[in-house]
Amino acid sequence: QVQLVESGGGVVQPGRSLRLSCQASGFQLSTFGMHWVRQAPGKGVEWVATIWFDGTNIYYADSVKGRFTISKDNSKNTLYLQMNSLRAEDSAVYFCAREGYGGPFDFWGQGTQVTVSS
C-alpha cells in the first residue's frame, strides 16, 4: 500500500541547514507530483514546495523561495527538501504529500519536526 515516511528533522540553529527526506513506497515517484507542506505550532497548514512527476516544474511558497530546494531521486524513490538559511519561523512539522489524479493530496506522511532555535 502507499506509504510516505519523512525523516531528517531536528533542532538546528538559525542560519544553518537541514535536509529532509521522504521515502515513498507502494508507488513510483516518477509518476506522481509531490509536495512539501508544513504546520507551525498553533498555526495553520502551509504549502511549501512542489515538484512535478517528471521534475520539469518546481514551485515554492514565497516564504521559502531562494532558501529551500525540493528534489527527488527516482532510483531511491525518495523526495527531498534542502532547507538553507533557516529562520525561527521555519519551525514546524513538515509533511510530504502525494498529488493524486486531478490534484488532491491523496496520501501524506506523518511528518517530521523541525525546530530552529539558538
Partner 1 sequence: EIVMTQSPATLSVSPGERATLSCRASQSVSNNLAWFQHKPGQAPRLLVYGASIRASGIPARFSGSGSGTEFTLTISSLQSEDFAVYYCQQYNDWTFGQGTKVEAK
| 7 lines the binding site for partner 1 (CB under 8 A) | no
Helix (H, G, I), strand (E, B) or coil at 8: coil
Name the amino acid, one letter, at 35: H
Nearest approach in angstroms of CB 35 to partner 1 is 7
| 38 lines the binding site for partner 1 (CB under 8 A) | no
Residue 35 or 72: the one with the smaller Cβ distance to partner 1 is 35
Provide the 8-state DSSP code for 100. Answer: -
Dihedral sign, Cα of residue 111, residue 112, residue 116, residue 118 = positive
Among 9, 40, 47, 91, indicate the residue that binds partner 1 (CB under 8 A). 47
